[in-house]
A and B are shown apart, each in its own frame.
Chain A
Amino acid sequence: MITKQRPPVIQVQNLVKRFGNFIANDNLNFDVAQGEIFGFLGANGAGKTTAIKILCGLMTPTSGQISVAGFDVYRQTDQIKKQIGYMSQKFSMYEDLTVKENFQFYGGIYGLSNIVIRERTAEMLDKLQMSGIKNKTLNEIPLGWKQKLAFSVAMIHRPLIVFLDEPTGGVDPITRRQFWEMIYEAANNGITVFVTTHYMDEAEYCERVSIMVDGRIEALDTPKNLREQQGVSSMNEVFIKLARKQNLNNG
């Protein structure tokens, strides 16, 4: 029902990615609507990062039709890259540069003018209430703050879609809460958020969640529907049930 109201910005049909004999992504099918918060869950090695890399244009798929922001991932990676923001698993700002310099650098590589960078930096830092630390180097700042800054940097060029690959790893619950508030705000502004996570409580915050097991999407629906389908009370149980089913099949 959600997808019907808003146009899809990511369309994936029959996505397959092989590394030799190993199949990292086995026939994935899903759409993500504009402004949606799409949760991408799975155990380590389930193929999440591979899928994200393909969607970002960092890797070419083996087969399948995939479009991101209306552009084809095989031929139009340059156009795609202009429309997306990305925050990686590892922390992705420069530790030896100051907050301001990081914003300047990332704004610069996205081709923003100095005036625009300065305006947006001021605005974003203001919102984060971090204007006071703009001249501190990143290694002097606690991790939780850095994650919030990294999210802001990933959005400095106002992308259509932002990919967050385990953005809240190692962050305390309060900061995670604040981080999700930022995600909601972005989604309210029409930005599509594609997020992977290990925290099942975070999965509850997503509009829809897909659960990957061994390279396949085992389930894809709203958190509420998933819980009802599996007859359990939390996403944690949904996840364990799906992962276990797979293990039993394999065994």
Chain B
Amino acid sequence: MMKGFIVKEFLHIFRDRRTMLILFGMPIVQVLLFGFAITNEINNAQIAILDHSKDNVTTAITAKMLASGYFQLNKQLESSDQIASVFQNGEVKEVIVFEPDFAQKISKNHTAKVQIITDASDPNSANLLASYTSAILMDYVGEFSSIRPLPVNLSTQTSMLYNPELKGVFMFVPGTITILLMLISAMMTSISIAREKEMGTMEVLLVSHLKPLQIIIGKVIPYILLSFVNALVILFLAATVFHMPMNGSMILLLSESMLFIIMALSMGIFISTISNTQQTAMLLSMFVLMLPTILLSGFIFPIENMPVPLQLLSNIMPSKWFIIIVKSIMLKGLGIAYFWKETIILAGMMSAFVFLSAKKFKIRLA
């Protein structure tokens, strides 16, 4: 009985060109798009330097910065009056200011000040530039300290710690997997169930002695399989095209993905129970699932940069937790011991949605 249902569902998918395009074209396009075009990666950012001391230390730091390939010196500034104008002209993204007598202060007081000024009208790249700069400064301090001990007065962002090459694409792959799994699992199932309602075939299914649970399972199994295939395709692309590291256990990653897929599917079923047409299902999936997933999961905008209310809101986004898990496995190679909390949160959300959607689906038949 179930076999026929699943076969039918696959036929729907394979016969509809748009569905096929969304299922198999989109993952590839999205991965390539995010990987190549929309990365936060920084190359040759224009900077200006205001060096009040011009000694051997500041020259060394400047040389190190420029040698990194992330920055390109646009201008040497002579006074602080010029700072505002170079920003206003849009010539530079960042200005670095070394205080006077830099080398002397380091050798005497073991401390010196560097001011990093960024153009925060583009907060993401500003944030990144500042992190890159302080990372390079820290690096220099590290080299310096190996010669003689020196107190450190600069702080660096630990988020860079596991992405030493500062490759933005590594941050995008986990987000892209999350978005696509959400899209395929939740949106496609909700649309396909809403379609049966719209066409009137759902009534016939319900009049037959198929149990509601059997209908749900029959609907969902093809999408579980396809989502899984998609996850593999994305991982393969990430590994081959972008040389994304896979430091952790593949089995762990796939099982966590399964958890997320099932959660997204039950969200999709839930959406389909409250929408009667394919269009409603699609709009609901878009606004209730996709946009918050993209905006609030930390995929594009760092959660720590958000206002507190949004930070709190981001906690109810399943994708936030899934992204953390994927990053931990792929980039840091960590085991479940390090993200059991996230896993439990995800599992909790999954059970809640499975329960809700099963309940809601039954009520509709009564």
Contacts and interface: CB of A to CB of B under 8 A. Distances in A.
Interface in A104-118: 104-111
B1 A111 contact: yes
Contacts of B201: 92-94
Interface residues of A, number: 33
B353 to A, nearest CB: 25
B365 A105 contact: no
Of the listed residues A87, A108, A111, A137, the one surrounded by the most CB atoms of chain B closer than 10 A to its CB is: A108
Contacts of A110: 208-209
A69 interface: no
Interface string A160-186: 000100000000000000000000000
Contact of B4 (A78, A104, A137, A163): A104
B275 to A, nearest CB: 17
Nearest to B364: A58
Nearest to B204: A92
Contacts, number: 73
Interface string B199-213: 111011111111000
A87 B200 CA distance: 10
Interface of B: 1, 3-5, 7-8, 11-12, 15-16, 199-201, 203-210, 365-366
> Which 9 residue pairs of A and B lie closest in terms of their CB atoms, listed nearest first?
A108-B4, A90-B200, A81-B209, A86-B207, A92-B204, A105-B8, A96-B15, A88-B203, A109-B208
A101 B158 CA distance: 58
Contacts of B200: 88-92
Given A84-B207, A97-B11, A60 B4 contact: no
Given A90-B199, A109-B1, 16 more contacts: A56-B207, A58-B206, A86-B204, A90-B203, A92-B204, A94-B199, A96-B12, A96-B16, A97-B12, A97-B15, A105-B5, A105-B7, A106-B204, A106-B208, A108-B3, A108-B4
Contacts of B4: 104-105, 107-109
A109 B11 contact: no
A109 B5 contact: yes
